[in-house]
Amino acid sequence: MKLFSGDLLGDGLFRYLHILAGVTWIGLLYYFNLVQVPALAAYGDEGKARNITIDKVARRALWWFRWASIATLATGILITGAVKNYWQDFMGTTDGVNHVGHDVAISIGMTIGILMAANVWMIIWKNQKIVLANAANVLGGGEANADAPTAGRKALLASRQNMIFSVSMLFFMVGGAHMYSQAFDAATKSNANLLMMIAIAIVALLELNAIGIFGGIKAGNKMLWMYESHKNALITSAILWVILVALSEVLLG
């Protein structure tokens, strides 16, 4: 198996599986935010139809969604372990090649990706289990769970935040290998560390906002404007991307 031997195991097979799992994960993230949630809102008072969709469609989609996030995370870790000297001379120079641009870009992408996976399991899936159980119970003739709307709201906010993160996460994952090393071949480690710290601070503030630290999770909180529709989330994702790219240009250029 020369195709997937040695370093090619990480750069070849694991990277392919990483992309395949990532496409599944992020594709379903976009499906939920751009298709399913707006469609369910358009159901209006069709409570039974809504619960059937949640029970029969969302349940299956969520299974693939949450396990694709784990597969993406796991294969990403395998890449760093299988590729020889992946972390050697981190944010340094080897054989005259400055790795700072690549390393800071991939670090930002990995940090956002890990946070997104944590959101999937610790917030989205945790709360969606309540929504799914409620839909099945109501369809079976039981009483609705009064906690289901709040659980759904928490899952929605985290999902929209993940969609906002995804645009920048994907950019830095691709940019690390294909743009940052060439564009910022004179970047310094100190400036890269500063970029990393600022990026993490911005991401942390957005995450805290999504979980309701700044005014709660109820509709009407102006801090949650970015999550109230998929259009607002798309606008915010573009703004975050522009800010992080601008910071890259200023600090690494």
- 100-143 pLDDT, tens digit per residue, is 888 899 999 999 999 999 999 999 999 999 999 999 999 999 99
Query: Which amino acid is located at 154 in the chain?
Result: K
How far is residue 205's CA from residue 34's CA, in Å, rounded to a whole number? 24
**pLDDT attached to residue 95:** 65
Average pLDDT of span 232-236:
98
Average pLDDT of span 179-204:
92
**pLDDT attached to residue 97:** 72
**pLDDT attached to residue 180:** 87
Cβ–Cβ under 8 Å, residues 211 and 158: yes
In the block, residue with structure tokens 């969604």? 65
The pair of three-digit structure tokens given for residue 171, joined into one six-digit string:
């950019």
- The 3-state secondary structure of 107-137 reads HHHHHHHHHHHHHHHHHHHHHHHHHHHHHHH
Average pLDDT of span 182-197:
91
Residue 45, Cβ density class (10 Å: 0-12 exposed, 13-18 middle, ≥19 buried): exposed
Contacts of 217 by beta carbon, 8 Å cutoff, 6+ apart: 150, 153, 154, 157, 211, 224
Residue 229, Cβ density class (10 Å: 0-12 exposed, 13-18 middle, ≥19 buried): middle
**pLDDT attached to residue 7:** 64
Query: Alpha carbon of 228 to those of 99, 197, 204, 225, 237: distances in Å?
Result: 40, 28, 20, 5, 14
The number of beta carbons lying within 10 Å of the beta carbon of residue 230 is 18
How far is residue 143's CA from residue 153's CA, in Å, rounded to a whole number? 20
Average pLDDT of span 40-47:
84
Average pLDDT of span 15-40:
96
What tens digit of pLDDT does each residue of 30-39 get?
Answer: 999 999 999 9
* Size (the chain), residues: 253
Name the nearest CA neighbour of 211 among 227, 197, 199: 227
What tens digit of pLDDT does each residue of 52-102 get?
Answer: 999 999 999 999 999 999 999 999 998 888 777 777 767 777 766 778 888
Confidence of residue 4 (pLDDT cuts 50, 70, 90): low
Supply the mean pLDDT for the chain: 92
**Spans of all domains in the chain:** 2-252
Query: Alpha carbon of 98 to those of 55, 78, 119, 192: distances in Å?
Result: 52, 24, 34, 12
What tens digit of pLDDT does each residue of 44-53 get?
Answer: 877 899 999 9
- Say yes or no to pLDDT of 177 above 80: no
Please state, for a pLDDT cut of 90, what percent of the chain lies above it.
74
What three-state secondary structure class fits 58?
helix
